[in-house]
Chains A and B, each alone.
Chain A
Amino acid sequence: MPKPDSRATPSGPPGVGERRVGAGVRVRPIEAGDLSQVISIDAEASGIEKVDYWYELFHRYGTRGRQQRFFLVAESGAVVEGFIIGEVRDWEFGSPPCGWVFGIAVRRSARLGGTGTALFDAILESFRRAGVHKVRTLTTRDNSVVLSFFRSQGMMAAPFIPLELDLPAAKEGAN
């Protein structure tokens, strides 16, 4: 997969400008040059380095459709301390348009300093400006760190039940 062109670096969609928070941390839209740090933060949190995945996400969320897609980073000096990704989703299973957060991580050394809250506040503001009034997320129930974080932000159980299915192996001879 090609690396992102620095010319594609977003200058920030309307309403998603820079936000300065405490201790010199500011939240802004991601730029191509942030990706290596984002990949590293995600690898630290998940234990898996997913380079192609993040380049693909950057192309889909960091450079296009930025009225409804938000890929933000929190930086302190030249260091990216964390990131958050979300988008407005319309009418999934009958739900009116709402904001979805599907990725957040903060560098371990920067945790408990308000960086996650600053990122979350910034994406909430982006969702508000996009015209939605509800935000949802989904995380694994054994991910206590992220689950506790969202709870601390006031998130409550949604009226959905996630389900999954292990696909049975294809039958021999089937197309």
Chain B
Amino acid sequence: MKLQTSTLLALYSIVEAASQPGKQISAAEIAQRYGVSAHHLAKVLRELGRAGLVDSARGAGGGYRFCGNARRLTLMDVIDRFEDIGARPPEPGAAQTDVGLAIARVLSEIDEIAKATFRSITIDTLLKLVERARQSQAATAPVTREAGR
């Protein structure tokens, strides 16, 4: 499964903001953390703002704050704002052939599984996964490891 860059930026931003409820997080901070274009990220954040998932405050100390319901908002809800991950329809000629139809059916199976997976994972669940990964890393890392965020 390959998501578009905008979609991934949206997911990074939402999860970052939701991990610090009530706190404003700057676009520059997210851009730096993920090594992405601040310009591109700004567009994504505007779209998330229009969707009512983040609100923004201007000026010093301003930034973006998560304002959705992390226990309700799923990855699919976010992805849907940016792209349609459904299978590309078969070429017009192929759609009329047995082989084209059979391949389309297999691709459709894969899409449905992917969508169900995205629909089943809320932002809250993803944050738990992140936390579990951090704990697991902390448990196995050498003592001298630099502390993560």
Contact = CB atoms under 8 A, between A and B. Distances in A.
Genuine A/B complex:
yes
Interface of A: 112, 141-142, 144, 147-148, 150-152, 154, 157
Contacts of B23: none
B132 A154 contact: yes
Given A144-B74, A147-B120, A151-B120, 17 more contacts: A141-B112, A142-B116, A147-B116, A147-B119, A148-B74, A148-B119, A148-B120, A148-B121, A150-B120, A151-B121, A151-B125, A152-B71, A152-B122, A152-B124, A154-B128, A154-B129, A154-B132
Contacts of A142: 116
**Interface majority SS (helix, strand, loop, mixed), chain B:** helix
A152 B125 contact: yes
B117 interface: yes
A23 B76 CA distance: 33
Contacts of B119: 144, 147-148
A157 B122 contact: no
30 contacts: A112-B71, A141-B113, A141-B116, A142-B116, A144-B74, A144-B119, A144-B120, A147-B116, A147-B119, A147-B120, A148-B74, A148-B119, A148-B120, A148-B121, A148-B122, A148-B125, A150-B120, A151-B120, A151-B121, A151-B122, A151-B125, A152-B71, A152-B122, A152-B124, A152-B125, A152-B128, A154-B128, A154-B129, A154-B132, A157-B117
Contacts of B132: 154
Nearest to B76: A144
A118 B5 CA distance: 39
A144 B121 CA distance: 9
B114 to A, nearest CB: 10
10 A-B pairs with the lowest CB-CB distances in the bound complex, closest first? A141-B116, A147-B120, A152-B125, A151-B120, A151-B125, A148-B120, A151-B121, A144-B119, A148-B122, A144-B120
B89 to A, nearest CB: 22
Nearest to B112: A141
Contacts of B120: 144, 147-148, 150-151
A147 B132 CA distance: 19
Nearest to B109: A161
Contacts of B113: 141
